[in-house]
């Protein structure tokens, strides 16, 4: 088999040795999709990095393959995470493959259905708490201090190391460094990881420029934009419903060192982009992922991004993760009689 996942592909950039057991579902190598529609709309060259095509349907697999492999190497028997959904889905699957227990703490009622079904089906011990993600992460930190469980949230540095391979891949696929690199920001691990990846390619002379890191938070959950934690974060994009990001400082460093920005998009703007990407480009991503495209459109409108720029937007998770939002915001099927005349009439034939 030629493609062996992100650890084998980028082994020399990663903290692994021949002793590290590689726990992989052959994650990574996701499509970088050029969008003619978005390019014409924005007068830029726009590519979508479709991380929903990872084995568990989100970018988290890049970091999880390394975090779980290193936990296995260390001899850990159990891993734990707090999650808005995707981390738990990924942790549950990789822990299952590594024959380890997985403990998941989620905010009650705020996890998209697809993600919850994954954690359940992969046999994680799933606990929901009356609290938000930030409180769940606090609990997980304490559990990690007191008990023999390995934390696999992005406060685990191996998660960031694995996720930086996304940056390598974007350059390897595109053969160029984007001018603007757009992505959603929640706990801020991914923007931290991508920036680390781009800088490492730069330091290794693989690339000779760096992208402007352009992050987007949901307006109701925008602590980095506001400059203070948000106690009761809210947004329809539950994946990024986070009020006190763990990687806050490194996200600011990525923003400032790259000459980029972290700004906010409203839920309406997110849903509009979500529908546009699905309905006009043909790529189905979850609402949080659409924040990257919503943000690009907004900053173009505001004149903050010039014409003719090379732009990559990361679509962090698959649309099937959150069927409820699709059904709620999308068009409704129309009931008709089961005969050709009825269909033809509807189609105006």
Q: Is 240 in the site for ligand AN7 (CB under 6 A)?
A: yes
- For ligand AN7, the binding residues in 190-209 under the rule CB under 6 A are 190
Q: What three-state secondary structure class fits 208? A: coil
Using rule CB under 6 A, residue 223 touches ligand AN7: no
Q: How many residues bind ligand AN7 (CB under 6 A)?
A: 21
Q: Which stretch binds ligand AN7 (CB under 6 A): 124-132, 179-187, 272-280, 331-339?
A: 179-187
Asked if residue 317 binds ligand AN7 (CB under 6 A), the reply is: yes
Of residues 45 and 193, the one with the C-beta less far from ligand AN7: 193
Distance separating alpha carbons of residues 331 and 349, to the nearest angstrom: 22
Which region among 20-28, 170-178, 184-192, 199-207 touches ligand AN7 (by CB under 6 A)?
A: 184-192
Sheet holding 78-82, edge to edge: 125-129, 101-107, 78-82, 150-151
DSSP state of 335: P
Pick from 162, 186, 220, 319: which binds ligand AN7 (CB under 6 A)? 186
Q: Is 156 in the site for ligand AN7 (CB under 6 A)?
A: no
Q: Please spell the DSSP secondary structure of 249-281, one letter per residue.
A: HHHHHHHHHHT-EEEEE-HHHHHHHHHHIIIII
The tokens for 48 are 């979508």
Phi, psi of 214, deg, nearest 5: -125, 95
Q: Which is nearer to ligand AN7, 180 or 216 (CB)?
A: 216
253 in Cβ contact with 213 (< 8 Å)? no
Specify the residue, 98 or 106, whose C-beta has the smaller distance to ligand AN7. Answer: 106
Which CB atom, from 60 or from 299, has the smaller least distance to ligand AN7? 60
Residue 231 CB burial class (10 angstroms; 0-12, 13-18, ≥19): exposed
List the one residue from 35, 87, 235, 263 that touches ligand AN7 (CB under 6 A): 87
Cβ 215 to ligand AN7 shortest distance, Å? 8
Instruction: Give the strands of the sheet with 45-50, arranged side by side.
Output: 32-35, 45-50, 310-315, 180-184, 212-218, 261-265
The yes or no reply on residue 30 touching ligand AN7 (CB under 6 A) is no
CB-based contacts of 185, cutoff 8 Å, min separation 6: 191, 215, 216, 217, 224, 240, 245, 251, 262
Q: Which is nearer to ligand AN7, 42 or 84 (CB)?
A: 84
Residue 288 interacting with ligand AN7 (CB under 6 A): yes
β-strand partners of 285: 318
- Residue 184 lies near ligand AN7 (rule: CB under 6 A): yes
| CA distance linking residue 293 with residue 305, whole number of Å | 13
Q: Are 22 and 16 in contact (CB under 8 A)?
A: yes
CB contact at 8 A, 158 and 15? yes
Rounded to an integer, what distance in angstroms lies between the CA atom of residue 68 and that of residue 126? 18
Q: Which is nearer to ligand AN7, 14 or 119 (CB)?
A: 119
Told to check if 85 binds ligand AN7 by CB under 6 A, we report: yes
Residue 286 engages ligand AN7 in binding (rule: CB under 6 A): yes
> Minimal distance in Å, beta carbon 307 to ligand AN7?
28
Q: Which is nearer to ligand AN7, 44 or 188 (CB)?
A: 188
Interacting span for ligand AN7 (CB under 6 A) from 118-126, 180-188, 224-232, 268-276: 180-188
- The pairing of beta strand 101-107 with beta strand 180-184: unpaired
57 versus 178: smaller Cβ distance to ligand AN7 = 57
Q: Does 187 bind ligand AN7 (CB under 6 A)?
A: yes
- In the complex, the residues that contact ligand AN7 under the rule CB under 6 A are 58, 83-87, 154, 184-190, 239-240, 286, 288-289, 316-317
């Amino acid at each position: 088999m030629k493609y062996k996942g992100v650890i084998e592909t980028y082994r020399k950039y990663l903290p692994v040795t021949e002793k590290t057991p590689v726990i992989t579902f052959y994650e990574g190598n996701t499509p970088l999709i050029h969008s003619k529609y978005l390019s014409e709309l924005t007068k830029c060259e726009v590519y979508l990095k479709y991380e929903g095509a990872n084995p568990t349907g989100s970018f988290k697999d890049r970091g999880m393959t390394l975090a779980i492999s290193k936990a296995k190497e260390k001899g850990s028997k159990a891993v734990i995470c707090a999650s808005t959904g995707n981390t738990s889905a990924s942790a549950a699957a990789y822990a299952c493959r590594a024959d380890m227990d997985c403990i998941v703490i989620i905010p009650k009622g705020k996890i998209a259905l697809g993600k919850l079904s994954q954690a359940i089906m992969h046999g994680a011990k799933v606990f929901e708490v009356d609290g938000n993600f930030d409180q769940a992460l606090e609990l997980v930190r304490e559990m990690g201090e007191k008990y023999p469980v390995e934390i696999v949230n992005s406060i685990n540095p191996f998660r960031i190391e694995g996720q930086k391979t996304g940056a390598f891949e974007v350059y390897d696929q595109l053969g160029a460094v984007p001018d603007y690199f757009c992505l959603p920001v929640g706990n801020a691990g991914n923007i931290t990881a991508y920036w680390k990846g781009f800088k490492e390619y730069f330091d290794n002379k693989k690339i000779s420029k760096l992208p402007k890191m352009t992050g987007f938070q949901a307006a109701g959950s925008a602590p980095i934009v506001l400059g203070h934690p948000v106690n009761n974060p809210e947004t329809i994009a539950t994946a990024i419903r986070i009020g006190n990001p763990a990687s806050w400082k490194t996200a600011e460093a990525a923003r400032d060192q790259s000459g980029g920005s972290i700004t906010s998009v409203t839920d309406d703007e997110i849903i509009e982009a979500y529908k546009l990407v699905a309905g006009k480009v043909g790529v189905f991503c979850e609402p949080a992922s659409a924040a990257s495209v919503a943000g690009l459109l907004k900053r173009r409108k505001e004149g903050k991004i010039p014409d003719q720029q090379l732009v990559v937007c990361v679509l962090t998770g698959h649309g099937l993760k959150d069927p409820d939002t699709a059904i709620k915001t999308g068009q409704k099927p129309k009931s008709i009689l089961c005969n050709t005349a009825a269909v033809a009439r509807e189609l105006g034939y």
